[in-house]
Chains A and B, each alone.
Chain A
Amino acid sequence: DAGVTQSPTHLIKTRGQQVTLRCSPISGHKSVSWYQQVLGQGPQFIFQYYEKEERGRGNFPDRFSARQFPNYSSELNVNALLLGDSALYLCASSWRAHGEGYNEQFFGPGTRLTVL
């Protein structure tokens, strides 16, 4: 079975531009979460979506938005890019939304965004 997939693998943008990152969850998983990992740091939670609804939001500005589609895939959009948005963006999928013991999150390989 395929794991979590993300596209593109790498992306280079300039300040002020907009970017869209894509994530396909593991088949059967209905929850998708997004994390930002700045170099040398642990991942920081951005959003969680479940059944196309936002279920959680981290401490990120409104320039960050996301959505989930009927097939449970998800997009993360970042507007007005800043140099500080350069990071590895990780997507994770899980079976459902709640923090049950058997609801592990499985991560994709990430999209490395560089803002120049």
Chain B
Amino acid sequence: AQKVTQAQTEISVVEKEDVTLDCVYETRDTTYYLFWYKQPPSGELVFLIRRNSFDEQNEISGRYSWNFQKSTSSFNFTITASQVVDSAVYFCALRRTGTASKLTFGTGTRLQVTL
């Protein structure tokens, strides 16, 4: 069975602070994909990043960066210099390869960025 755990239910930061959202996953598969999605109040899930299990390179995209560590089954997401527009619920998700496109989501972390 696959499982994604996001232990942080809610995080509040002041604008321009850096914030890290944690994600720990469980799977017996040797190959898999990991994702981060953003869900603003409108409800639509916005794709942020996909990471293959065989590629442990960290990635940076503007103010966003991701730290994938297979040894600890973690895929953490950092927002540098947070902005009010970053306020949303963030979901980490896991998907098996070669089968149906089923995504297994964590319970999400609500990020509140204030002025």
Contact = CB atoms under 8 A, between A and B. Distances in A.
Interface of A: 31, 33, 35, 40-45, 48, 55-56, 58, 88, 90, 92, 94, 97-101, 103-110, 112
A108 B44 contact: yes
Interface stretch (B57-65, B70-78, B80-88, B104-112): B104-112
Contacts of B33: 99, 101
Contact of B105 (A33, A42, A109, A112): A42
Given A104-B47, A110-B44, A42 B108 contact: yes
A40 B39 CA distance: 12
Contact of A105 (B43, B96, B103, B106): B103
Given A88-B43, A104-B47, A58 B102 contact: yes
Nearest to B31: A99
A43 B45 contact: yes
B115 interface: no
Interface residues of B, number: 27
Interface of B: 4, 33, 37, 42-47, 50, 52, 91, 93, 95-108
Contacts of B102: 33, 45, 48, 56, 58
10 contacts: A42-B4, A42-B93, A55-B100, A56-B100, A88-B43, A97-B101, A101-B52, A103-B101, A107-B37, A112-B43
B45 A99 contact: no
Contacts of B42: 109
Given A43-B105, A108-B44, A98 B52 contact: no
Q: Tell which of B37, B46, B95, B105 has the most Cβ of chain A within 10 Å.
A: B105
Contacts of B52: 101
B2 to A, nearest CB: 11
A44 B93 CA distance: 11
A105 B33 CA distance: 12
A35 B93 CA distance: 13
A98 B103 CA distance: 12
Nearest to B95: A99
